[in-house]
C-alpha cells in the first residue's frame, strides 16, 4: 500500500538522519537521488518528517508510527487519505477531530498519553528567557511559520500587481510594506523579486530596523553581515551612507555583494575576517555598528525543528556566549563616541541575550538605550532579541 511505503520511508529518513546538515538539505539530497518520486510523494514525505520532528522529545517510549500519528494529528488541520490511514492503524485518534483547534487536540492527546507535555517539545527549556511565554512558545512549534517579505520603498504597487496577476494569496502585516504567505509559497521566480523590489525576510528580522538610526553620510559596519538582510533595512532608512560588511565566509560576502548591486547600492565594501580572533584596521571608525552575532538560532527552530531533538546547553554556554562577547568587545573599539551599537540574535536564551547585555554594560564603554524580544510565536514568525547601545567614550 502506498501509505505504508510512505510511513516506512519517513521512519528510515528520521532514523538515519545524523544532524551533519540541516534537515531541509538532507531531504533535498534524498529527492535529488530519487528523481522518480512524484510531487505528491515529496510533499507528503516532507510533511510527515516535519510533523514527527515538531513534538520534540515527547513519546520516546512509543513505537515510531504511534509517535508519527500523534505528531501528525497535532500538526495537521486538513483531512487526507494518508492521514486517516495513519491515525486509524496506529492510534485511537480520529480523523474527524483533525480540524479542532490546537488546545483541544492537545487535551485529546494528553487524555491518551498522560506523559505528553508541551515542555518536552523544546530542549533546554531552563535556558529560556523569562520574557518568553513558555506555553505559547512551545505550542508554536506545532505550526509551520509563514514566508515573509519586505517590499522596498516605492515598489509596493508593482509587487502587489504581480501577485494579483499570478493569483498568489497573501496577508497584509501591521508593519508597513510587509506581506506574508503560505509556508509552501515560492517567490523567487517573480519578476519583482528578480528586480530587487522586495526581499524575503522574516517579520522580526525586518522589525530590527526600528532600532537603526542612520544619518546622511554616516559610515556603518555590518560586522556579521551574512546575507545582508539587516544592511538592506539600514539602506532603506537612509540611502546616502557607506557600509563595511564583514563575515568569516567568503561565499556569503559574494552573495552579499550581489544583493547590494541588485538594488543599485554601490556604497559598500566587504572584508572577510574572523572577529573572534582579530579585528579590522585599528584606524577604522564608524557612526554605527550592527552586530547580528552567531548564535544558537533557537528563535528560528520552528523552521528547523530537527534542533528540538538535541540538547544545546553546553554549546550555548561554552561556545556561543564567549564568541558573542569576544566579537562585541572587538568591534566596540571602532565605534565613535556617541555612536550606536545594535546587538541582535535570533535566540531566545537568556545566556545569549540578557546575560550578554549585563556583561557589555559592566565591561565596555556602553550605555543601554533599549532592548526587546521581538516575539514571533504568536505571529507564525521567528523570535529575535535586540539591544541598542550608545558608546559613552573613546
Per-residue pLDDT of 346-385, as tens digits, reads 999 999 999 999 999 999 999 999 999 999 999 999 999 9
Res 116 pLDDT > 80: yes
pLDDT score recorded for residue 121:
98
Contact 303, 51 (CB under 8 A): no
207: cell is 522589525
pLDDT at residue 302 above 90?
Answer: yes
Distance CA 345, CA 328 (A): 12
340-349 per-position pLDDT tens digit: 999 999 999 9
CATH C-level class of 204-391: alpha beta
The answer to whether the beta carbons of residues 221 and 286 sit under 8 Å apart is yes
Return mean pLDDT, the chain. 94
Closest of 66, 136, 126, 74 to residue 99, by C-alpha: 74
Measured over the CA atoms of residue 210, residue 213, residue 218 and residue 222, the dihedral's sign is negative
Q: What's the confidence (pLDDT) of residue 4?
A: 80
Please give the average per-residue pLDDT across 145-153, as a whole number.
Answer: 92
Question: Residue 61 — very low, low, confident or very high, per pLDDT cuts 50/70/90?
Answer: very high
Task: Give yes or no for a contact between 180 and 151, defined as CB atoms under 8 angstroms apart.
Answer: no
Look at residue 289 in the predicted model and tell me its pLDDT. Answer: 97
Write out pLDDT tens, residues 222-233.
999 988 888 988
DSSP letter string, 145-200: PPEEEEEPTT-HHHHHHHHHHTT---EE-SSTTEEEE-TT---TT-HHHHTTSEEE
Q: What is the mean pLDDT of residues 72-77?
A: 97
Instruction: Give mean pLDDT, residues 125-137.
Output: 97
How would residue 255 be classed by pLDDT, with cut points 50, 70 and 90? very high
Q: What pLDDT does 129 receive?
A: 98
158-171: pLDDT as tens digits? 999 999 999 999 99
Q: What is the mean pLDDT of residues 112-126?
A: 96
In 3D space, the residue among 154, 253, 168, 238 whose CA is nearest the CA of residue 196 turns out to be: 154
In sequence order, the 6+-apart residues with CB closer than 8 A to the CB of 315 are 296
Q: Which CATH superfamily is domain 147-200 in?
A: Sun protein; domain 3 (3.30.70.1170)
Helix 64-75 × helix 102-112 angle, to 10°: 160
Contact 358/320 with Cβ under 8 angstroms? no
pLDDT for the residue 394: 65
Given a cut of 70, whether residue 1 has pLDDT beyond it is no
| Span 137-156, average pLDDT | 94
pLDDT in tens, 170-203: 999 988 889 999 998 999 999 999 998 998 999 9
CB burial of residue 383 (10 Å; 0-12, 13-18, 19+) = buried
Which pLDDT score is estimated for 229?
Answer: 85
Domain ranges of the chain: 2-116, 147-200, 204-391
Burial 26-46 (b: 16+ CB within 10 A, else e): bbeebeeeeeeeeeebeebbb
Q: What is the pLDDT of residue 272?
A: 94
- pLDDT cut 70: percent of the chain above it: 99
Amino acid at each position: 500500500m502506498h501509505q505504508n511505503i510512505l510511513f516506512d520511508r519517513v521512519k528510515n529518513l528520521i532514523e538515519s538522519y545524523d544532524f551533519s546538515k540541516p534537515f531541509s538539505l538532507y531531504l533535498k539530497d534524498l529527492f535529488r537521488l530519487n528523481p522518480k518520486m512524484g510531487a505528491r510523494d515529496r510533499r507528503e514525505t516532507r510533511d510527515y518528517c516535519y510533523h514527527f520532528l515538531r513534538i520534540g522529545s515527547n513519546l520516546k517510549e512509543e513505537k515510531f508510527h504511534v509517535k508519527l500519528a500523534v505528531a501528525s494529528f497535532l500538526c495537521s488541520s486538513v483531512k487526507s487519505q494518508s492521514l486517516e490511514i495513519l491515525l486509524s492503524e496506529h492510534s485511537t485518534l480520529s480523523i474527524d477531530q483533525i480540524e479542532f483547534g490546537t488546545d483541544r487536540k492537545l487535551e485529546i492527546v494528553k487524555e491518551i498519553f498522560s506523559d505528553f507535555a508541551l515542555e518536552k517539545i523544546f530542549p533546554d527549556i531552563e535556558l529560556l528567557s523569562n520574557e518568553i511565554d513558555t506555553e505559547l512558545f512551545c505550542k508554536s512549534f506545532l505550526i509551520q511559520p509563514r514566508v515573509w517579505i519586505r517590499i522596498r520603498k516605492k515598489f509596493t504597487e508593482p509587487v502587489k500587481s504581480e501577485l494579483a496577476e499570478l493569483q498568489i494569496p497573501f496577508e497584509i502585516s501591521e508593519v508597513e510594506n510587509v506581506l506574508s504567505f503560505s509556508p509552501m509559497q515560492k517567490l523567487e521566480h517573480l519578476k519583482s523579486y528578480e528586480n530587487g523590489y522586495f526581499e524575503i525576510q522574516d517579520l522580526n528580522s525586518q522589525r530590527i530596523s526600528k532600532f537603526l538610526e542612520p544619518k546622511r553620510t554616516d559610515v556603518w559596519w555590518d560586522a556579521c553581515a551574512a546575507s545582508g538582510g539587516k544592511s538592506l533595512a539600514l539602506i532603506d532608512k537612509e540611502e546616502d551612507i557607506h557600509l563595511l560588511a564583514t563575515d568569516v565566509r567568503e561565499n556569503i560576502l559574494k552573495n552579499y555583494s550581489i544583493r547590494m548591486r541588485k538594488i543599485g547600492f554601490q556604497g559598500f565594501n566587504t572584508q572577510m575576517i574572523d572577529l573572534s580572533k582579530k579585528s579590522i584596521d585599528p584606524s577604522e571608525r564608524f557612526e554605527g555598528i550592527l552586530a547580528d552575532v552567531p548564535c544558537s538560532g533557537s528563535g528560528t527552530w520552528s523552521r528547523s525543528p530537527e534542533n528540538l531533538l538535541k540538547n544545546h546547553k553546553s554549546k550555548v554556554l561554552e561556545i556561543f556566549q564567549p564568541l558573542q562577547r569576544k566579537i562585541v568587545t572587538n568591534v566596540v573599539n571602532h565605534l565613535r563616541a556617541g555612536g550606536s551599537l545594535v546587538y541582535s540574535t535570533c535566540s531566545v536564551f537568556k545566556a545569549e541575550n540578557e546575560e550578554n547585555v549585563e556583561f557589555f554594560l559592566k565591561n565596555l564603554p556602553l550605555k543601554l538605550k533599549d532592548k526587546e524580544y521581538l516575539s514571533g510565536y504568536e505571529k507564525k514568525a521567528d523570535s529575535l532579541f535586540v539591544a541598542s547601545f550608545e558608546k559613552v567614550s573613546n
